Structure 1
């Protein structure tokens, strides 16, 4: 069962890929992000290692992304040698370790010029080196076209397929730091709202941090509006207890699942055969009833094909889905406390639906990032029915949407 993981492992990337180049090229795009990490500094060319730091650290990074004509949405073009070529590769224009004061100054400048003052926090998954997390997050921000302040939280993963146990312990080691970061963002008067996107094992540290916040403060801070759990490597029984501890009101929760996720199949065996949240069939019981009762939106990506050999990163590697994730933020949909639901919130995503950007399918699949405004909700049922085979979703109302309460492999 480990063989597919080895076959899909990252191969031969040169050290120092984050060393900045002198300039980018015409047509290239840039993504600026602030990074908070519990990793230790690297002694080599790479900025941070997979070891655990004694204190949180911060960095400012600007990533240059090749012109659209030289890449496919959803892909990360890695340099084959250093320095990379900004015409064809992801490279950095700036990569500086900074102290917390400088990081805060960067954030204040960026949030002031961001419409609706929105923040997107990304937490990567197992087997991720520092540069993996940086480039993947840059790809998601760029391809989603969401006008948000990007904040990367990266924890000490060794980027080694055989270091699963170490990575799991490192995720737990980092939950206090993530809780403090989210608290800092959520209590900042300049921040309008926060969305969280976690992948794989990053869902564990995310849910644990939110659980701690809820227990400590009797709630999850209201500015944390949306929590998107992509391929969550979380025991389904533990998720039930975490969900209960989050209390109500809580953030809008969206889960990306895929029954053909080979990485989570291995994880299931490692953890004694207990189902992983990211691999469940949302149409089967008891999951269906639990998702409906808890008003959790589930996007089933099982029928969606991407180039990912493990079927573990579909949400980021599908060109259309990653654009849909950012559609609501980019379009500035109003977050409301609407009284109407969107059916039973279990949505089957197919290749047909994923190609329907700008149609009702695009509206439905972007549900995890924002709650529909009243006008959109009024027309949603008819639009989905018109799509027919593009989206399979029942239309029974489940009551009010929750709009209260800031991986990647």
Structure 2
């Protein structure tokens, strides 16, 4: 208990002083690997340019494409950022080389169809708690680069407050965002298959949305989901079993990436008053016979890592999964 309280206090202190992700636009930057990140967001626009968003909850979806230049010096699992107040250098840092807003959903889908590999399948990433739009964008670009993505990648950027003190706000934002994610998945599956990947609290959003789609008997959408991976899912295991029981057909493969060394989920379990979260189990035995695969990443985290981002931030895990979870 003392360790968790100290961690919570440290997070509050960090919130007051730590720089957060910022999108730096350096038009024409092409020093590294440029990745097209398609963004669908129900956040409130921060600026009228249609591509930068706040942590406030909006009432409609906005669509954009952000071209992220991954620097030549990039190392697997890292997002190289400039120091606070320093100018971004495309040779050393993640930057945007271009940013484009799509006026309509139809324009968004047409733009995606023109992307390399965009005809048959897309990869949709749903970020987790305490994540702003810039962080979600750069994280997906890092994943697309490190895992050699050969299909279009889409970030569903739901309105996390981007503040470690906003756990309850983010949980409510998940409920607020179910209809928006459903709208996106329905639109995408009209023309192609989807591989869904969610991190942390984003896993709750994915499960609630798939359950909602199933209850509406929209099985055509569920049959177009070619697989689901939940990374460090911040869900009560008993809740997950109930959610999954209402999803028919249940997507396959369905993968849970977990760790017994996840200090962030330790804190979430403490807040919830329960012994552990879904992302801390080691086998599927306690999930009522659900057809899921549990991959325990406890031994993959590098020293000093919190165990919550291991699947996409630990070089050993990236090497292990390079050809694994649907990016190809």
**Fold shared by both chains (TM-score > 0.5):** yes
How far apart in 1 are the matches of 2:39 and 2:183? 14
Q: Is the 8 A contact 1:214 1:246 kept in 2?
A: yes
Q: How does 1:197-212 map to 2 (within 5 A)?
A: 197-212=197-212
Q: Are 2:317 and 1:321 equivalent residues in the alignment?
A: yes
- Measured after TM superposition, the shift of residue 274 of structure 1 is 4.7
> What pairs with 1:203-282 in structure 2 (closer than 5 Å)?
203-217=203-217, 219=219, 221-282=222-283
The alignment status of 1:305 with 2:301, answered yes or no, reads yes
Corresponding position: 1:168 with 2:171 = yes
CA contact (8 A) 2:56 2:159 kept: yes
Question: How far apart in 2 are the matches of 1:165 and 1:71?
Answer: 34
Q: TM-score, normalised by structure 1?
A: 0.72
Which blocks of at least 5 consecutive residues in structure 1 are unaligned?
328-365, 371-409
**What root-mean-square deviation, in Å, do the aligned CA atoms of Structure 1 and Structure 2 show?**
2.4
Hey, what's the Cα distance between the residues in 2 that align with 1:306 and 1:44?
41
* Equivalent of residue 98 in structure 1, options 89, 93, 102: 102
TM-score (norm 2): 0.89
2:19 is aligned to 13
Q: How many equivalent pairs are there?
A: 317
Question: Does the C-alpha gap of structure 1 residues 72 and 36 become closer, same or farther in structure 2, counting only changes over 3 Å?
Answer: same
Residues 1:196 and 2:196 aligned together? yes
Q: Is 1:32–1:150's contact at 8 Å kept on the other side of the alignment?
A: yes
Q: 1:136 aligned to 112, 135, 139, which one?
A: 139
Larger radius of gyration: 1
Whole-angstrom CA distance in 2 between matches of 1:272 and 1:255: 22
Aligned residue number for residue 123 of structure 2: 120
1:30 aligned to which of 34, 43, 52: 34
Post-superposition offset of 1:230: 0.2
Query: Residue 287 of structure 2: SS of its match in structure 1?
Result: helix
User: Deviation string for 1:95-122 (max 9, x for gaps)?
Assistant: 2333224322211212xx4177221000
Residue of structure 1 in register with 2:74 after alignment: 71
User: Cα 1:249–1:44, aligned 2, differ >3 Å: closer, same or farther?
Assistant: closer
**Structure 2: tracts of 5 or more residues without a match:** none
Query: Using a 3 Å threshold, how does the CA distance of structure 1 residues 281 and 19 change in structure 2: closer, same or farther?
Result: closer
* Residue number in structure 2 paired with 1:41: 45
Distance of 1:75 and 1:19 partners within structure 2: 17
The 5 Å alignment of 1:78-93 reads 78-80=81-83, 81=85, 83-93=87-97
Q: Which secondary structure state, in structure 1, belongs to the residue aligned with residue 222 of structure 2? A: coil
